Amino acid sequence: MLDGLSRAPIMIALIATIGLFTGEPMAAERLTAAVSKPGTETNRFWAGATMWHVMDPALEGLIAHDAVTGEATGDGLASSWEANDDFRVWTFKLREGVQFHHGWGEMTADDIVHSYTLHTGEDAIIPTVDQLRGATAEAIDSYTVRFTYPEPIKDLPFLHGGRSVMKVYSKAQFDAEGLEGYDAKFAGTGPFEFVSRSPGEILYKRFDDYYGQAADFEELHLRFVDEAATKLAMLLSGEAAIADLPRELMSDAIGQGMKLVQSSLATIQNDVVFNGLYCESGDEACGDHLPWHDQRIRKAINHSINREEMREVLFPQGGADILVRYAMAEGHEGFDPSLAGRFEEEYGYNLELAQQLMADAGYPDAFEDPTILLIMKPESGLPEVPVMMELLHAYLTAAGFQAELREMDHATVGAMGRGREAYLIHPSKNAPPRPTEVAFRAFYSNPGGPYQGWENDWTTGKIKAFNAATDAAERDAIAKEVFNYLFEQHVDIPMFAIRAQLAYNPDVVASWQFPGVTSSGYGHWNYVKAAN
């Protein structure tokens, strides 16, 4: 009988032993990275969502960014660009001699026009594509392309640069093979060319005719892994040399000999939004019944929060304060450095002042429903959000607010926002940091459009004036005025500006430099330096 009993363990041991010799070894020339799953797995960039970090090795936008400073440069497909006086007509000069992968020839203006057509077609759902639409694109000559818009669009370079809404595909390949050709083996112009894709992974190889910085690694293998613990295990076991771990696991990786690489600039701006304030004159959707409609309550909520403590818990590797919700970023129009000096006074932790403000506003008795409804919803790239909202709930409760924490998914909040019935306080993020005009359009006084409502006559009037102005000094002054107003109105609960972080194995990777100012968060894969 014991002979029979021993069969099962023997078979399992046999299978395990066979397995040891069938595992695929990691090629020495191959760089494997465990990255978060893209929103969509398709070669049609325009028809997907949140794919930048997995498509950037092969597909490029018109405008490149410096790996260190993050500045838009003429080192990419476009060597220069200019607008006419009213920012409706944009002309891009293209770099000569840029080759498409797989022998599809030189990139010319016709490829840009073709790519624009693809990205603004019926099936295009890439985020922010609506801002790209509406132009007439024409090839002036082989290396000059012109976009003519019916309305001024001052920040078109951002859409073609940091936002990178449009990637450049080969027209010659499309003419010869159609979309099926792209599905099978698309040709881009990036430092790596596409080799193959299967569910959960994509393989690139170095493109030796790349016009820019050549990649160190011969192959780039991106594996899409959602489970953070699995990504850490891949890194520690040597299956992957790079992993985009959540910050809470970063110290585990570093403790095991891995190293941390950060973007040179902040990638994500994070805050918590007082939504539902659609309060232009006569707008019935205005949430004037909400406690946070009262500016004193918004200020009190901000004073109830100990940001230093939160930063220590949530972002031990660091996170900078943000001052005005998303729009104000150094280097963009209207930036006012003096607001940093007033942050402590207007937003700093001061429980006594918070309670005084609540009393002045008559909270809770003066409000029909004094509930402070906090929404916990996931934010991609910010796994800390649930803990952040729990902490917020604890701070507000400690201050005396009747706070309620409720779970909701991102899509539901989005739909409520578009339906102008998002009477909620919810987390939000902005990536990459946007130029002032784009941020104004997205986040403030855009009746019928905004996802996170802050609308009133003053803001709408000023933003209209800003959009109409063409004089740089005038625009800067108006933007500054708007930022000061928003800052003093406490239109949100500003949290932190955070850099993209990844862990890498120093035995394989020596260094990596990327700016963090593009939609991919991390990128510039050709700047990953091999350890030997």
Partner 1 sequence: MQRYLLRRVFQSLLAMLAISVIAFALSQLSGSPVDSMLPQDAGPEEAERLTKLWGLDRPVHEQYFIFLGNALQGNLGQSIKWQGQSAMGLVLERLPATLQLGGFAIIVSTLIAVPVGVIAAVYKNTPFDAFGKIIALLGQAMPNFWLGIVLIWIFAVHLKWLPTSGRGGLSHMILPAIAMGWFQVAALMRLTRSAMLEVLDSEYVKLARIKGVPEWRVVWVHALRNAAIVPLTYFGLIAGSIFTGSVVIETVFAWPGTGLLAIDAIRGRDFPVVQAVVLTFAGVFILVNLLVDTLYAYLDPRIRYK
Looking at 89, 179, 387, 510, which residue binds partner 1 (CB under 8 A)?
Answer: 179
The yes or no reply on residue 183 touching partner 1 (CB under 8 A) is yes
The yes or no reply on residue 449 touching partner 1 (CB under 8 A) is yes
Q: From CA 67, how far away is CA 483, in angstroms rounded? A: 29
Cβ–Cβ < 8 Å for 246, 408: no
**Neighbour-count burial for 166-187, b at 16+ CB within 10 Å, e otherwise:** bbbbbbbbbeebeeebbeebbb
Total residues contacting partner 1 (rule CB under 8 A)?
A: 68
Nearer to partner 1, 77 or 222 (CB): 222
The yes or no reply on residue 239 touching partner 1 (CB under 8 A) is yes
Looking at 412, 457, 461, 470, which residue binds partner 1 (CB under 8 A)?
Answer: 412
Please count the helices (runs of H) and the strands (runs of E) in the chain.
Answer: 18, 21
Cβ–Cβ < 8 Å for 112, 169: no
Q: From CA 219, how far away is CA 26, in angstroms rounded? A: 11
Cβ–Cβ < 8 Å for 275, 452: yes
The yes or no reply on residue 11 touching partner 1 (CB under 8 A) is yes
Q: From CA 19, how far away is CA 14, in angstroms rounded? A: 8
The yes or no reply on residue 338 touching partner 1 (CB under 8 A) is no
Q: How far is the CB of 252 from partner 1 (least distance, A)?
A: 11
The yes or no reply on residue 237 touching partner 1 (CB under 8 A) is yes
Looking at 330, 411, 473, 532, which residue binds partner 1 (CB under 8 A)?
Answer: 411
Q: From CA 430, how far away is CA 144, in angstroms rounded? A: 33
Looking at 23, 150, 255, 282, which residue binds partner 1 (CB under 8 A)?
Answer: 23
Q: What is the residue-wise DSSP string for 511-529?
A: E------STTSS--GGGPE
Helix (H) or strand (E) holding 301: helix 295-303
Report how far apart, in Å, the C-alpha atoms of 293 and of each of 237, 381, 424 are: 53, 30, 11
In the block, tokens 């070894």 appear at 25
Report how far apart, in Å, the C-alpha atoms of 369 and of each of 138, 290, 300, 363, 407 are: 57, 7, 17, 10, 20
Q: How far is the CB of 48 from partner 1 (least distance, A)?
A: 7
The yes or no reply on residue 268 touching partner 1 (CB under 8 A) is no
Binding mask 109-128 for partner 1 (x = CB under 8 A): -------------xx-x-xx
Q: How far is the CB of 17 from partner 1 (least distance, A)?
A: 9
The yes or no reply on residue 19 touching partner 1 (CB under 8 A) is yes
Nearer to partner 1, 89 or 179 (CB): 179
Nearer to partner 1, 234 or 354 (CB): 234
Looking at 54, 55, 145, 234, which residue binds partner 1 (CB under 8 A)?
Answer: 234
Q: How far is the CB of 248 from partner 1 (least distance, A)?
A: 15
Looking at 12, 27, 68, 398, which residue binds partner 1 (CB under 8 A)?
Answer: 12
Cβ–Cβ < 8 Å for 434, 441: no
Nearer to partner 1, 418 or 464 (CB): 418
Helix axes 351-361, 295-303, angle to 10 degrees: 160
Footprint (CB under 8 A) of partner 1, residues 36-75 = 37, 39-42, 44, 47-49
Looking at 110, 138, 201, 488, which residue binds partner 1 (CB under 8 A)?
Answer: 201
> What spatial distance separates the first Cα and last Cα of the chain, rounded to whole Å?
57
Q: Which residues of this chain interact with partner 1, rule CB under 8 A?
A: 1, 3-5, 7-8, 11-12, 15-16, 18-24, 37, 39-42, 44, 47-49, 122-123, 125, 127-128, 130, 179, 183, 198-201, 223-227, 229-230, 233-234, 236-239, 410-412, 414-415, 417-418, 428, 441-443, 446, 448-452
